[in-house]
Structure 1
Amino acid sequence: MTRRSIGIIVNGVTGRMGYRQHLVRSLLAIRESGGVPLADGTTIWPEPVLVGRNETKLRELAERHGLTDWTTDLTSALARDDVEIYFDALVTQQREKAIRQAIEAGKHIYTEKPLAEDTAGALDLARAADAAGVRTGVVQDKLFLPGLRKLKRLVDGGFFGRILSVRGEFGYWVFEGDWQPAQRPSWNYRAEDGGGITSDMFPHWHYVLEELFGRVNAVSCVTATHVPERVDEDGRAYAATADDAAYAIFELDGGVIAQINSSWGVRVYRDELVEFQVDGTEGSAVAGLRNCRVQHRAVTPKPVWNPDLPATEDFRAQWAEVPDNEEFDNGFKVQWEAFLRHVVAGEPFQWDFLAGARGVQLAELGLRAAREGVRVQVPELQR
């Protein structure tokens, strides 16, 4: 067996997502499992190069995991011949500049979403990467979650018949930061720093809707800043200038209507932090992060509306659980493995910068729809 080492810059590794999901649960987990095997017997072995601004945090993080390769100098890291991939987990406002630097250095690029702050910037990055001949990828982790993989299995198997509608609920209460620390960074709630739930979540909803149900043709949206003041990491009160909730309707190919509520100001009364209900002529399903339940046409009960009597049916008990049928790995890790096979062996990888640009476009158009109070068509993006 031949080991193929591949140097990977992990920029923004001291942040929550860069550290937990991409370093620990993806790259280090890949190493712990023996690497990524290829059909020819080669094993891809990731060699992380940790990059960030805080030398103390980087040193502590590297020592915690037995790593020695770290730096605060991105330029010198990109100049290394043994580094082939640049990964970006920076805040959105810093991403475009860093990715452009990686393109100029000839590195293959994998990045968190959103790809850029606006559609023009995202498309420019996609075109620059194409011109440079580098391979690109954008994180689209929710496609690899067990619940959504089960849902896709149902779609591909024709379980729903003709799909009519999709209803999504996402969110949880993010503490204001005064009497309990907030569980998200304060920049998420400042528009001037690139924050906002629409910019954060619509790129996710784009790829979920497009991959499972069809192209998004139009969007209508209402946004809100439900919590107008929050407290930052240093205990200072600040004005929340970004949207913390978005209520959207997406019109898809085939007449499918999708309604998705996204909110950081909602308390959870559902089984998982995100759930999608899909209704079709032949059956319905409710899918979350891990679980998926179904009700087929043949076993659908016949409820009758009567507000004068208490409900006697246990509606949840009338649904059946979709079995796992396979072992599901961490979604971030699975996509990392696919991107590494794409870079090393040329295997297909459809979630490139153009796919990322379409997610940015949907967020931008959603914000426009909310700002102008109109229904906005979603034009096709061209390279």
Structure 2
Amino acid sequence: MWYCQYIICILVHFVAANEKIPCGQNLIVFIIDGYGKALLNQSDAGFRLLTQNGVYSDFLKPVYPTHNYPNWMSLVTGLYAENHGFGANYMWDRVRNRKFSNGEINRVGDTWWPDGVVPAWYTTGKSNVDVHCYWMPGCDLPHQDMIVQVPQQRKYNASALGQTNAVINYFPEIIERITKYQPYKQQFFLIRYGGIQEALETFGLRSDELKQALVNVDLSLLMLQQKLDAAKLFGSTNLMVISTHGLYTVEQEEQFFIEECLTDYSKIQKVVNHHAMMMVFTNPDEANEVFFELKLCDQWAPMGDYDENEQPLVSVYQTADLPYRFHWKNFKYMPEIVLFTRPGATVLTV
């Protein structure tokens, strides 16, 4: 009898010694570009499983402007665009005559981050958490005294459409890494999927390509949850799924060109961004003239009977008069004048 009890004690001790306890909670953040609320009704099992097993919000309000870069950086800093330093997809630093073009790699040390602002991959890395980025803009670049090691195939490339479609292929390594290293270090994964926005911008809302992208992201979320569950990792790992912003369909009959509003285009130093928002840098002493010409432009003036409460086709603001609710006018690289359009309308340059 004593012999049998001894063997059982040895076996129990052996099993307990091999079931190592995670040192803390792991986190997987899955960012979906362009996934607006209207698309949620077209989602399937992957999203249903999320809502059944977790908590969710009916909607989130993106930061202004509703470009990718301001919203990406707000997600990883918790700050508005005027505070985290990325106020648009395209920026111009007038003082240093340098530009930022939707994430093109800048020179080493040529940083756009303001002093004191750090992204999530830096704060987590400095807290002795392992950081893993998948196509997350800026994550592979040096930040202060740290750099996240990101393999070339997982680095963000604005010109490589479809690069995030490979996300499903990385789930086995994510599961393996959590399982292997969570007893020693917490694991943080920052994953971005761009297929929805790419399909919307290239093919449109009712395209087969968008339907396929929705299937892809839903299947990805379903498989990721299944793999986490099979590996019994939900007790130690949180999964957060979030979007940057939705997109509107462009109305071709509501395209406007600012050249047709101005008597002398030489008053303009540079125009940055277009479509739903445009930043107009003028000669400083001619800003008021340009503002009034754009404000009173016949192209987007109300015609016939119109509702005074309806949003104008194009709104023209001097930067100092931008509404506070945008949390944007104190952005460092603001121009003299900003134009933004009603959903569906676009403003362009020739």
TM-score by length of 1: 0.27
Q: Which has the higher contact order (CA 8 A, sep 6+)?
A: 2
The structure richer in strand per residue is 1
